[in-house]
Structure 1
């Protein structure tokens, strides 16, 4: 019975997971090209090479796929930021530069991710509330890192001034990278990273010198 349920060396659960991964990749591609609002079940299914019926095997609606794609980008951003922080030079400025450079690379190297996470999501009924929540969470990570060096530490008890500054900076980073992606700001990678590092220092020097 076990052998009969395997196709191409995969069991049923593995096949479902593979189809879900293909749909997520297709969803990102479609949203990157047509915008979040331009993604449809049919369009994503066609882009994935799967029959539309398989869409509902993993997602109950196109909005659920939008959210899953957004969450995958956010998870990648967090993983890359924490990794960059862990391998950055020991000086605080070097740590800030490493994290910001990683974020710039993430979104400029794959503009579809930037469009979904930083541009279209702001006006999306489904993704808008998640953007606000993730912005606050990332701001908490920045504040915690500035206070203790640990991005996973709780930020709730930190001074309001520090948390407000972190929130301001996170919003600024997102909007600035978004402006580059939209073509409103003709900055290259190095310019963008250096300007944002300078702004971190200018807004509140002790944020990176603790």
Structure 2
């Protein structure tokens, strides 16, 4: 194994250990010493890949956010868009199901991005950035069918509605993860799809 491979392998172990601690004990309890013990990697190597424990926290958050975006875009693109109600419903369900799977299959990831980030002074600003990014993707999809298209010049009403939807979905997932609402995956997706489509009808009006 080359030196670069060893560095990459240690970094992956540190990220997995940090995810485990952040997702079970919380970000404030995820220290350099704790990550070193959890990963089996000497503490000095934490600073080989990360400038601080806060940078490690951000790296874990960013990895989950990137996976969320990748899953959402892949789910969206996998369903043909025939510009009718049936295909719109299918695309909404595909994306929400993909997000539900990400959050529920590994609740650690949901806790990091939906719970820990809310109260963390380090992760909080990044959470706002990602919320804006997902809202922009939603608005662009509604307007031109491309989640990666520019959205800054879209109508204010469209962009506000997109923010409303993204925030509502995130809080719904958080309520399930925290145990405030006892619901299985299928019912969760069904309810979110129904709510999303109700508001999404307004997005379609604003986008046309």
TM over 0.5: yes
User: Where does residue 140 of structure 2 map in the other structure?
Assistant: 144
Contact 1:169–1:200 (CA under 8 A) maintained in structure 2: yes
2:41 aligned with 1:50, yes or no?
yes
Q: Where do 1:69-108 residues align within 5 Å?
A: 69-90=60-81, 91-108=87-104
Structure 1 residue 203: Cα displacement: 1.9
Structure 1's consecutive aligned runs of 4 or more residues displaced over 4 angstroms after TM superposition are none
Match of 2:151 among 150, 155, 162: 155
> What 5-or-longer segments of structure 1 have no aligned partner?
1-9
> What 5-or-longer segments of structure 2 have no aligned partner?
82-86
Match of 2:179 among 161, 175, 183: 183
2:155 aligned with 1:167, yes or no?
no
Q: How far apart in 2 are the matches of 1:120 and 1:174?
A: 13
Structure 1 residue 206: Cα displacement: 4.7
Structure 1 residue 187: Cα displacement: 1.4
Q: How far apart in 2 are the matches of 1:207 and 1:76?
A: 25
Contact 1:96–1:208 (CA under 8 A) maintained in structure 2: no
Q: TM-score, normalised by structure 1?
A: 0.93
Match of 2:121 among 116, 125, 147: 125
Contact 1:122–1:131 (CA under 8 A) maintained in structure 2: yes
Q: TM-score, normalised by structure 2?
A: 0.93
Match of 1:205 among 192, 201, 205: 201
Supply the RMSD in Å over aligned alpha carbons: 1.3
Change (3 A) 1:93 1:41: same
User: Where does residue 20 of structure 2 map in the other structure?
Assistant: 29
Q: How far apart in 1 are the matches of 2:3 and 2:139?
A: 44
Q: How far apart in 2 are the matches of 1:196 and 1:170?
A: 11
Q: How far apart in 1 are the matches of 2:100 and 2:204?
A: 19
Provide, for residues 155-206 of structure 1, a one-character-per-residue CA deviation record: whole Å limited to 9, x for no partner.
Answer: 0011111100000000011111011000001111111111111111222415
Match of 2:108 among 83, 107, 112: 112
